[in-house]
Amino acid sequence: MKFNFKKISLFLYILLLSQNLFASNFYESWTKVVLEKKLPYSIKLEFSQGIRLKDYISEVNQAFFEFSLSYKNSKGLRFNIPMRYSIYKDKIKHRVSAVTSYQHSFNPLSIKYILKYYRLYQNGKIIGKDEKTLGDVLRNKALIKYKTDSFYNPFVSAELLFLLQSNNNLLEEYRLSSGFEIDLPKKNSLVIFLTFKKENINKLLSDKIYIFGLSFISKM
C-alpha cells in the first residue's frame, strides 16, 4: 500500500476545518508577516509582526512584534534566540526564548523537531504559576512536511507545552496542526493552517480552541 502524505494531510486539514466550523467552543485567528534575511557565517535574522483575534474572531486578543537571531552549525542544528513583545487590551507582555531545532530530509518528506524554552514577563515581572498565563514553559514540537512537484507543500505538526514552575513539570497544553505552504514569486511563501489547541489541561474545565492561521513569509 502506497503512503500518500498529500491525501492524509488534506484529510486532517478538512477534519480540523469541520470541527472548527461546527464546534461549540470559541475559536481564534492568527495572522502574521515574517521577514527573513540570511547573513554570512550561517546566521539568519527574522522579524515578524502578528495579530491574533479571539471569541469567534470578533475581538483583538493581542498584537505582537518578534525579533530573532539564529545560527546553523555544520551538523544541521539551528540555535535561535527570539524576543517577543506583545500588546493586550489591559497588559503588556514580553517573552525571551532559547530554541534548538533540527531538520532531516529524505525526499519527498522532511521531519523537523523544535525544542523551545521561554520565560514570560508581564509589565516587567515574571508571571508565576498562580497567574492565568504561564511563566517558564518548555515546548516540544514535531513537524512533517511533504515536498510536492507543485506550488504547495502540505504539513502536519504536534506540540506539547510543559509548565516548569511546578514540582511535577505538568503538561499544560497541546496543539495539533495541519496546513499548506504555498510557494509565491520572489522567494515569498504563504502558510495556511488550522490548529486545535487544548490548554489548561490540569484544571477542571480545560479550554478547547480552534484556530485558523495565515502567515506571509518574505525571504529578503
- Number of structural domains the chain divides into: 1
Residue 162 lies in a domain: yes
pLDDT at residue 165, as a whole number: 66
85 or 57, higher pLDDT: 85
At 104-115, the pLDDT tens digits run 988 889 999 999
Sequential DSSP letters for 132-195: SS-SEEEEEEEEEEE--SSSEEEEEEEEEEEE-SSTT--EEEEEEEEEEEEEETTTEEEEEEEE
Q: Is residue 219 part of a domain?
A: no
Predicted confidence at residue 161, as pLDDT, reads 92
48 lies in a domain? yes
Quote the domain boundaries for residue 33: 5-195
pTM score of the predicted model: 0.83
Residue 215 has pLDDT above 50, yes or no: yes
Mean pLDDT across the chain: 84
The pLDDT of 185-210, averaged and rounded, is 84
> What local confidence, expressed as pLDDT, does residue 9 receive?
57
Residue 63 located in a structural domain: yes
pLDDT value of position 44: 95
CATH code for the domain of 22 = 2.40.160.40
Q: Is 164 within a domain?
A: yes
* Residue 150 pLDDT exceeds 60: yes
